């Protein structure tokens, strides 16, 4: 739809220019006539006024369209930077003179103190520009080498993608840490289940209260294990299962996520509030994934808030995107985990709790897969605000 509207605007603008040009030619033809009656002079004066006003109007439309295009370009650039920053590979954007326009954090070791490219990387870009083809080269940088891919883009710009040569080793280290964390998190609930199952087998039938306590503990720990396994499977799904895109109303998705948690909030004496338009906020997305992301954020807020916990969810139309804010009065996140570390896999800001350290990482992946971004603001003892920006649907 935006493409069709843009085409219509351009057509109307072109017709305006044609009419303005025709009026200009007509006025010039009148100027060549040396004898004009009073009526024709008045008519010509009116035409001149119309000519001036229409010219100003066309100029104003052109300026507004240019400003709108620049805002859209800046928004898309922010989206691109947010998605690129979430990748493990480094990315550098370079202009035709070799000046670095932007780079992601993993690519910082390719730049010197002045922000200029490593000479070997610059040489690779020069050769890519001369041949007009994508080139690959491995260069020794830091403790491990880097595999560089130079890609010529439009208007004389280039993209430089860098990957660690020992990526498989670092990936193995990641999964070793992951397995170690999962095994640790599984051991505690399994020990509790085994202990209380043993208590059930040894307790007397005359002590029903002891049976009930053990049964409740076994149920709680089994649910904890279920959540842990569910997070692992869901994280794996994001890497292999394609998005099932369809037009979705964000208000409906938020309502579904809140409905799944409102009974728990009521049971724990906590408040969930939603401020959202009844309809009309449509995005193209995967229903299951977006609802899961919203549920994860709601679950975090309820988990780390006190008896009078309050979570306010607000949906707004801001600067060409849909903004969803999850604002709670919970424990808050320590500053050393802000603004990005809290979204890394296996990171937990609190030693207590039953999380796997994957919840917020999953949320960021889901939002990035939908072309959006998530940011966090938090103060210990005051609360946390998670902000999601999602692009509007083009369909």
Neighbours of 246 (CB within 10 A): 12
Of the residues 61, 85, 109, the one at which a domain ends: 85
Phi, psi of 240 (to 5 degrees): -125, -25
151 and 74 both lie in a single domain = no
156 and 225 both lie in a single domain = no
- Maximum mean pLDDT: which of 137-146, 233-242, 302-311, 318-327: 318-327
Neighbours of 98 (CB within 10 A): 14
CATH code, domain with 149: 3.30.450.20
Q: Which of 71-75, 275-279, 319-323, 373-377 has the lowest mean pLDDT?
A: 71-75
264 and 376 both lie in a single domain = yes
Closest to 79 measured CA to CA, from 323, 319, 371, 321: 371
Q: 130 vs 53, 126, 147, 151, 279, CA distance in Å?
A: 50, 6, 20, 12, 53
Of the residues 165, 193, 227, the one at which a domain ends: 165
d(CA 17, CA 172) in angstroms, rounded, equals: 63
Q: Are 91 and 159 in contact (CB under 8 A)?
A: yes
CATH code, domain with 288: 3.30.565.10
Helices (H), the chain: 2-31, 38-85, 119-131, 167-202, 208-240, 250-259, 262-267, 287-303, 359-369
270 and 372 both lie in a single domain = yes
Contacts 24+ apart (CB under 8 A), 150-155: 150/121, 150/124, 150/125, 152/128, 155/96
Whether 28 has a pLDDT exceeding 70, the answer reads no
CA angle in degrees (0–180, nearest 5) for 172-190-195:
155
CATH code, domain with 202: 1.10.287.130
Of the residues 192, 217, 240, the one at which a domain ends: 240
Neighbours of 211 (CB within 10 A): 15
Tokens matching residue 338: 């802000």
In the block, which residue shows the tokens 């891919």? 149
pTM: 0.50
Per the structure, the complete domain to which residue 94 belongs is given by 90-165
101 and 65 both lie in a single domain = no
Neighbours of 301 (CB within 10 A): 26
222 and 285 both lie in a single domain = no
Q: In the prediction, which pLDDT does 380 show?
A: 92
d(CA 389, CA 83) in angstroms, rounded, equals: 12
pLDDT tier, 3 (very low <50, low <70, confident <90, very high otherwise): very low
303 and 386 both lie in a single domain = yes
160 and 173 both lie in a single domain = no
375 and 282 both lie in a single domain = yes
Whether 38 has a pLDDT exceeding 50, the answer reads no
264 and 332 both lie in a single domain = yes
Overall domain count for the chain? 4
Q: In the prediction, which pLDDT does 328 show?
A: 96
148 and 276 both lie in a single domain = no
Q: In the prediction, which pLDDT does 254 show?
A: 93
């Amino acid at each position: 739809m935006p493409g069709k509207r843009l085409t219509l605007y351009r057509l109307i603008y072109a017709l305006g220019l044609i009419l303005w040009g025709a009026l200009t030619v007509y006025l010039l033809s009148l100027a060549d006539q040396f004898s004009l009656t009073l009526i024709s002079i008045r008519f010509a004066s009116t035409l001149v006024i119309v000519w001036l006003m229409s010219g100003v109007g066309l100029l104003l439309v052109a300026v507004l369209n240019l400003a709108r295009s620049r805002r859209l370009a800046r928004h898309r650039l922010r989206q691109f930077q947010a998605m690129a920053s979430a990748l493990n590979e480094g990315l550098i954007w370079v202009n035709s003179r070799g000046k670095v326009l932007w780079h992601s954090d993993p690519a910082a070791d390719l730049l010197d103190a002045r922000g200029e490219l490593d000479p070997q990387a610059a040489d690779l870009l020069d050769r890519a520009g001369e041949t007009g083809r994508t080139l690959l080269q491995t260069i020794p940088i830091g403790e491990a080498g880097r595999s560089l891919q130079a890609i010529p883009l439009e208007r004389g710009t280039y993209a430089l993608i860098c990957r660690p040569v020992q990526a498989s080793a670092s990936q193995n280290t990641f999964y070793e840490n992951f397995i170690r964390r999962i095994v640790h998190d599984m051991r505690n609930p399994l020990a509790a289940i085994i202990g209380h199952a043993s208590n059930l087998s040894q307790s007397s039938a005359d002590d029903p209260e002891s049976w009930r306590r053990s049964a409740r503990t076994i149920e709680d720990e089994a649910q904890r294990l279920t959540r842990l396994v569910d997070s692992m499977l869901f994280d794996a799904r994001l890497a292999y299962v394609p998005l099932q895109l369809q037009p979705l109303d964000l208000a409906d998705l938020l309502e579904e996520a809140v409905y799944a948690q409102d009974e728990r909030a009521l049971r724990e004496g906590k408040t969930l509030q939603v401020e959202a338009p009844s309809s009309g906020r449509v995005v193209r997305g995967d229903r299951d994934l977006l609802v899961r992301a919203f549920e994860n954020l709601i679950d975090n807020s309820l988990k780390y808030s006190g008896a009078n916990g309050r979570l306010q969810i607000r949906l707004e139309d801001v600067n060409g995107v849909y903004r969803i804010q999850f604002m709670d009065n919970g424990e808050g996140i320590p500053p050393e985990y802000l603004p990005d570390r809290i979204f890394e896999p296996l990171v937990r800001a609190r030693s207590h709790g039953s999380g796997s350290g994957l919840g917020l990482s999953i949320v960021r992946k889901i939002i990035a897969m939908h072309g959006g971004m998530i940011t966090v603001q938090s103060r210990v003892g005051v609360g946390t605000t998670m902000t999601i920006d999602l692009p509007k649907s083009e369909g």
